[in-house]
């Protein structure tokens, strides 16, 4: 990884690292396209990195949760690996990168919550830090547990899937470092921008990277999605992660929940690595080894039975 463009910055991966390394990647790999799909509460651009030109559309995102910024680094490493293999005419997992990128288009949004990432990394040194954040963090100056955006909304509870159910069961009733669903679905510019992108592009499959647990979540509220189980089993096999069975009442309001509900297509949460968040960056190579095969396996077009 020493000669790679994508590197941790002082042991972290914040928006500036994402910005400069995205720029550097597009210089070396001009076929990698970059778009801005919206802006965070603080006005930070939400980048979309597009790779490939195939008809099958795959969306992958990271860092819905501030203290899970390692997922942005993992996705940027993944993008660099794919770019390098394409440029050098190499194969990965038995498939030429060129063939893969003619078959699929990957839309990566590596950092959904840049403001939350900054707070989780910088804490009280963050330029947008106020006394409100201190109280939303229960008075603690340790911001390593910060998951929410800068308004104290948990973006992965802010989607329109079981929103009212969550309001009934949650013990969090206002802005917080984690767990507050917001005043209404897509109330936050970050979740709204991502949902708008998904509604426009109508992806065949989506993957949302989180930490931690080495688990894959693939269901929502007993909704049946054709092919979802087949993908889940393949992902389990290629990654070594296990399929999780979330508490059906607790697993609401998330990005993949909303995608499954809104489109009846396969959507997954990939819980990368193991340990307490933010998990150690020393796990990065192991996480890439587990998740890169999932990115490839998602390219497989499993047909619905009877078609």
Name the residue nearer to Zn ion (CB basis): 70 or 299: 70
Catalytic residue among 68, 80, 215, 271: 271
Pairing of strands 205-211, 56-61: parallel
DSSP calls for 1-31: -TT-S---BTTB--HHHHHHHHHHHHHH-TT
Name the residue nearer to Zn ion (CB basis): 65 or 214: 65
Scan residues 38-67 and list those touching Zn ion (CB under 5 A): 65
Binding-site size, Zn ion (CB under 5 A): 3
Among 210, 214, 256, 261, binds Zn ion (CB under 5 A): 210
256 binds Zn ion, rule: CB under 5 A: no
- Token readout for 184 is 């209404």
**Rounded to whole angstroms, how far apart are CA atoms 291 and 297?**
10
Q: How far is the CB of 73 from Zn ion (least distance, A)?
A: 15
Determine whether 271 is an active site residue: yes
Name the residue nearer to Zn ion (CB basis): 210 or 214: 210
Q: How far is the CB of 208 from Zn ion (least distance, A)?
A: 8
Q: How far is the CB of 68 from Zn ion (least distance, A)?
A: 5
147, 117 contact by CB (below 8 A): no
H-helix or E-strand containing 240?
none
Q: Is 12 exposed, middle or buried (0-12, 13-18, 19+ CB in 10 A)?
A: middle
Position of minimal CB gap to Zn ion:
210
What are the catalytic residues? 271
Binding site for Zn ion (CB under 5 A): 65, 68, 210
């Amino acid at each position: 990884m020493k000669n790679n463009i994508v590197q941790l910055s002082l042991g972290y991966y914040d928006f500036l690292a994402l910005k400069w390394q995205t720029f550097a990647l597009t210089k070396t790999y001009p076929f990698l396209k970059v778009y801005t799909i919206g802006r965070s509460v603080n006005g930070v651009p939400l980048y979309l990195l597009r790779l490939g030109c195939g008809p099958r559309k795959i969306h992958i995102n990271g860092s819905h949760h501030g203290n899970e910024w390692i997922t942005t680094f993992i996705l940027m490493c993944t993008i660099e690996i794919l770019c390098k293999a394409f440029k050098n005419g190499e194969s990965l997992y038995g498939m030429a990168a060129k063939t893969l990128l003619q078959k699929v288009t990957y839309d990566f949004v590596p950092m959904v919550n840049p403001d939350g990432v900054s707070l989780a990394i910088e804490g009280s040194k963050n330029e947008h830090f106020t006394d409100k954040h201190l109280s939303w963090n229960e008075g603690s100056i340790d911001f390593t547990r910060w998951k929410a955006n800068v308004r104290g909304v948990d973006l992965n509870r802010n989607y329109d899937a079981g929103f009212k159910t969550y309001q009934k069961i949650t013990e969090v009733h206002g802005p917080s470092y984690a767990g507050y669903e917001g005043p209404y679905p897509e109330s936050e510019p970050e979740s709204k921008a991502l949902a708008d992108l998904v509604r426009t592009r109508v992806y065949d499959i989506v993957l949302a990277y989180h930490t931690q647990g080495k688990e894959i979540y693939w269901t929502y509220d007993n909704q049946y999605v054709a092919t979802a189980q087949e993908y889940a089993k393949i992902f389990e096999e290629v990654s070594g992660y296990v399929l999780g069975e979330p508490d059906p009442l607790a697993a609401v309001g998330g990005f993949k929940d909303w995608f499954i509900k809104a489109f009846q297509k396969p959507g997954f949460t990939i819980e990368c690595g193991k340990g307490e968040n933010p998990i150690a960056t020393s796990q990065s190579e192991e996480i890439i080894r587990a998740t890169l095969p999932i990115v490839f396996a998602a390219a497989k077009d499993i047909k619905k039975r009877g078609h």
